[in-house]
Structure 1
Amino acid sequence: MNRILATYLKHLLVFGDLTVTDSDGGVTRWGDGTGDPVHLRFNTAAAERGVAINPGLKFGEAYMNGGVDITEGTIFDMLALVFRNAGNKAQNEPWMRAIARLRLIYRRVIQNNTPQRARRNVKHHYDLSSELYDLFLDVDRQYSCAYFDRPDAGLDEAQLAKKRHIAAKLAFDRPGLKTLDIGCGWGGMGLYLARHLSADVTGITLSDEQLGIARSRADEAGLSDHLHFEIADYRDTAGPFDRIVSVGMFEHVGVDFYDDYFRQCARLLDEDGVMLLHTIGRWDEPANTNAFINKYIFPGGYLPSLSQIAHSVERAGLIISDVEVLRLHYAETIRHWRDRFAARRDEAKALYDERFCRMWEFYLAASETAFRWQDCVVFQVQLTRKVDTLPITRDYMLEAEARLRELERRDTVPSIAAERTNADRQAAE
C-alpha cells in the first residue's frame, strides 16, 4: 500500500473495522475491530496515489470514476468511519494543511460570484432534470434543511415544519405584506406564505428549470395574482419589501460578496421590515469548502462562520434580532434524501448514468457526515433595521406557529399537509 496512505490510516483509525485491499492485491486491516466492518478496494494504482496525496478531492473522484469500490458496507459507512475517528482533526495532517493553504490562495478566484458566474453556477446544479429531484425530495421540493420538531417526523412533515418555523420568525402581522424570496427554488416557501399568510410574494431565482416549475405551481394553486417568480439577481432587485426571506441561497453568495449582499438587503428592506436568513454554516472558524463538493456539486459555494455573517451585517447597518442554530436537523434531512435516492437509484441511472449516481451518492454521504461529525450546522438569522420592530420576547414565534398549524389543518391540498409519503414508508421498511 502507498506508504503515505498507510501512515495516515494508522494514525487516524483508533476504532472501527476497516479492511483495505490495495491496487496490488495486498490486504490490510485497520482499527480495533469494533463496529460493522467496511471493506475498501482500490482498483487502480492512480486512485491509490491520488487519495494518498489529496484525499479531500481524490477519494470522491476515485469513487465516482470507479477507481475505488466499497465491497462491504457503503460509501456512507466508509465516510462515517473516517469522520467519527477524525472529526476536524483530519485537517491537521501536514500535507492536508498545505493543500488547504494552496486552496486559500485561489479561493477568491473560485468564489468570484459575479452575476454572470453566479448564473452559471446555479445552472450547473439546479438545472438538472426535474425528474432527478422528484426521486428524493419531499412533495414540496424543499431542497434545504428540514425542521424535525418531532423525532419520528417524516420528511414531508419536517419540511412543512421548516416553512412554518421560518414564517413565524418573519412575524406577518397583516395580509398583503410585500415579501421577497431570494433564491426561491421551486416556489415552495413563496406558496406557503401566499397561501397561509396572504403575502404578496416576489420570488427570484437564477435557474430556468426552477422558474418554470414555480410559475406552474403558482398558477395551479390559483395564487398567481399574489405570487410572482422571475429570473433575477439579488443585486438587480428593487424594493422596498416588508419582509425578506432567503433559504439555502446564501451559501452561493461567496465570502467577498457578503458586504454587498447585506447592504442590498438593507436597501430592499422597509424601515419596519423583517428578514430571515436560513443558511448552512460552520460553528468552527472559517474554512475552505470541501474540494469535491466545490468542483462537482456546488461550484462557487462557501459555508460561512457566524462571525463572517455578523461582521457584514454590522457593516450594512442591520440589526441581528434573533439567531438559532439548527444542529443535526440537516443530517436527518440528508438521511431521508439518501434513503430515497437509494430506493430509486435505477431511475436516476436511467436519467443519467452510473458515474452520476456514484457522484450523487458520494455527495449525499459526505454531506450527511459533515453535519453529524464535522463542523456544519444551519443558522437562522433574523434581521431588522430598527431595534423595536419586533416584540422583546420570542413568545410571538410560538403563537404564530400554533396559528399556522391550525391553518395547515384546514388546507385543502392534501399533499402539502401529508405527514408521510410512500417514499418515507418505503425507506423506513
Structure 2
Amino acid sequence: MRIGPASDPRWNTLLLALGAMSLQQTFAALGRNFPYVIAPAILDDLRLDAAWVGVYVAIAAFGSLLFQLGCGSFIVRYGALRTSQAALAMVAIGLAAAAGGPLVLFALSALIGGGGAAVSTPASSHLLGRYSPPRYLPLIFSIKQTAVPAGLLLAGVLAPQLTEWLGWRGAVLATAAACLGFAVALQPMRREFDSDRVPSRSFRFSDFHRTLAAVTATRELRHLSFACAAFNGLQTVFIAYFVTYLTTLGYGLAAAGLLFSAATLIAVPGRILWGWLGSVRSTPRQLLGWLALGMAASSTLLGLSGGDWPIAITAIAAVGLSLTALSWHGVLLAEAARLAPEGMRGSATGGVLSFGQVGALALPLVYGAVLGLTGSYGMGFVLCGLPAVAVGVTLLRRGKPPAPSV
C-alpha cells in the first residue's frame, strides 16, 4: 500500500523518521530486557535468590511510570530526537550500573534503565505524529511498535551467546555500548526532527499533574488510559506466567518455551495487521474494542484449559493472546497521539502509557493473590481478563466520539 508518492520529500522524511524511531525502540527493548534473559547467570554468579528478579522488575516498572509521566516537558524543550538519544543513554547507564554487581547498583540499573526504555515510546510517538498523515497513524505506529518484539528476539538470541563469550558483565557492557553508539548515530538527524522544540519550556513538578489531567479530562483519552491499563496488565501476566502455567499442565519446559516463542513471533505481523485495519478498514476505537474482547476470550480459554486438553486448544489460546494482548500497542498509541492537544503528543502518549504501567503492576499482583488463595493458575488468567471485557464493552458503545484536538 502506498501512502504517498516516493518522490514527495515529506514521504521520504516520514520513512527516515520511521526507520530511526523503530531502530531506537529496538535498541531500547534490547537493553531493557537483556538482564532478564541472562538472569540465571547473574543469580548464579552473585549467589542470589530468584525472588530478586521480581524486585528488579518492580523497580523498573516504577521507573517507567515516573519517567513517562514527567517526560512531556523534556520532549517539548529538547525535541523528540534528543529525548530519544537521552533515553538510549539512560538504558546504557542502567546496563553499566548492573555490571558493577552490588544490589544497590542493580536497583539503580532498574530505575534508570526502565525509565529510559519507557521514555523511548512517547518520544518516538511525538516525532512520528508530526510527519504521519492522520489517517495512517495506526499503521505507522504499529510498524514502529514491531521494534519492541524485535528487541525481545534480539535479546533472546544475542544475550546467551555474548554471555558465553564475554561473561555476563562483559555482555552487559557490550550491549550498553551498542545502545550508546546508536544514540550518537542519531545526531545528524536532529536539525530536522527537533525543529519544533521550544527551548523556553521548563520542567515543573506540576507537569506530572498536567500530564495526568491531559489524559483524564476528555472521555476518549480517559477510555484509552483505562484500556492501556487493562491491556498492559494482561500482557504482563501472560508473559510472566504462561510458561510456568504450561509446565504445571504437564508440558516440558522446552515445549512450553517453544510455544511461547512462536506466540511472540506472531505478534509482529499481528501489530502490522491491526495497524492497517485501523487505518483503512475500521476506526481505532472499534478495533481496540474487539481486540479487548478477543484477549478476554483467549485468556479465559487458556485459564479453563487442562492438562488433558489437546495441545491445539492451548496453542489457539496462546495465538489469540499474541494477536490481541501483545499486538494492540500501535493502534492505541496512534489514537492517543491523534486525540492529544496540540504540542502534547509526547505528554499524552506518556500519560496513557503510565496507566499501562499501573496495570502492569496491579494485575500480576492480582494473579499472585489468586494463585496463593486458590492454588489455581487458570483462575488467575480468567480473572485478569475481566477488565478487558469492561474495556471492550465501553469502546464498542455507539455514539459519535468527540473531534480530536489537533
**TM-score, scaled relative to structure 2:** 0.28
Greater helix content: 2
The structure whose Rg is larger is: 1
